[in-house]
Amino acid sequence: MILKNGYIILNNELVKKDILIEKNIIKAIEDNIDSKTEEVIDLNDKLVMPGLIDVHVHFREPGFEYKETIKSGTKASAKGGITTCMPMPNLNPVPDCKENLLKEMEIIKKDAVINCYPYGSVTIGEQGQERSKLEEFHDLVKAISDDGMGFNNMEILEAQMHLAKKYDIVIASHSEDFKYIKSKDPKGEIEAVKREIELAKQIGCRYHFCHLSTKESVDMVRKAKEEGYTNITCEIAPHHLVLNKTLVNLNANFKMNPPLREEVDRLACIEALVDGTCDCIATDHAPHSEFEKALDFVKAPNGIIGVETMFPLIYTEFVKTNIISLDRMLDLMVYNPIKVFKLPKRKLAVGEIADIAVFDINKCHTYSYGEIQSLSKNSPFIGRKLYGFNKLTIKDGEIIYNDLGGKNE
Residue numbers at the binding site for ligand DOR (CB under 6 A): 58, 90, 147-148, 174, 256-257, 284, 286, 301-303
Task: Specify the residue, 176 or 191, whose C-beta has the smaller distance to Zn ion.
Answer: 176
Query: At residue 332, what are phi and psi to the nearest 5 degrees?
Result: -65, -35
Rounded to the nearest whole angstrom, what is the least distance from the CB of residue 176 to ligand DOR in the complex?
8
Rounded to the nearest whole angstrom, what is the least distance from the CB of residue 239 to ligand DOR in the complex?
9
Task: Specify the residue, 204 or 301, whose C-beta has the smaller distance to ligand DOR.
Answer: 301
* Count of residues interacting with Zn ion (CB under 5 A): 2
State which H helix or E strand residue 115 sits in. Answer: strand 115-116
Rounded to the nearest whole angstrom, what is the least distance from the CB of residue 285 to ligand DOR in the complex?
9
Residues 6+ apart with CB under 8 A from 188: 150, 176, 177, 178, 179, 180, 181
Distance CA(274)–CA(258), nearest Å, equals 21
Contact 4, 32 (CB under 8 A): no
Write down the catalytic residue from 284, 331, 355, 360. 284
284 binds Zn ion (CB under 5 A): yes
Task: Specify the residue, 93 or 301, whose C-beta has the smaller distance to Zn ion.
Answer: 301
177 binds Zn ion (CB under 5 A): no
Distance CA(202)–CA(287), nearest Å, equals 36
147 binds Zn ion (CB under 5 A): yes
Among Zn ion, ligand DOR, none, what binds residue 256 when CB lies within 5 to 8 Å by partner kind?
ligand DOR
146 binds Zn ion (CB under 5 A): no
54 binds Zn ion (CB under 5 A): no
Rounded to the nearest whole angstrom, what is the least distance from the CB of residue 257 to ligand DOR in the complex?
4
Strands 13-22 and 47-50: unpaired
Task: Specify the residue, 150 or 388, whose C-beta has the smaller distance to ligand DOR.
Answer: 150
Q: Cα 361 to the chain's mean position, in Å?
A: 20
Which span (45-53, 241-249, 277-285, 384-392) binds Zn ion, by CB under 5 A?
A: 277-285
Q: Kindly report the CA angle at 241 between 233 and 283, in degrees rounded to 5?
A: 65
Q: Cα 271 to the chain's mean position, in Å?
A: 19
Task: Specify the residue, 6 or 186, whose C-beta has the smaller distance to ligand DOR.
Answer: 186
Distance CA(116)–CA(374), nearest Å, equals 16
Strands 2-10 and 13-22: antiparallel
Is 284 known to be catalytic?
Answer: yes
Contact 312, 384 (CB under 8 A): no
Which span (13-21, 92-100, 143-151, 271-279) binds Zn ion, by CB under 5 A?
A: 143-151
Query: How long, in residues, is the chain?
Result: 409
Which residues are designated catalytic? 284
Query: Using CB under 5 A as the criterion, which residues of the chain lie in contact with Zn ion when the complex forms?
Result: 147, 284
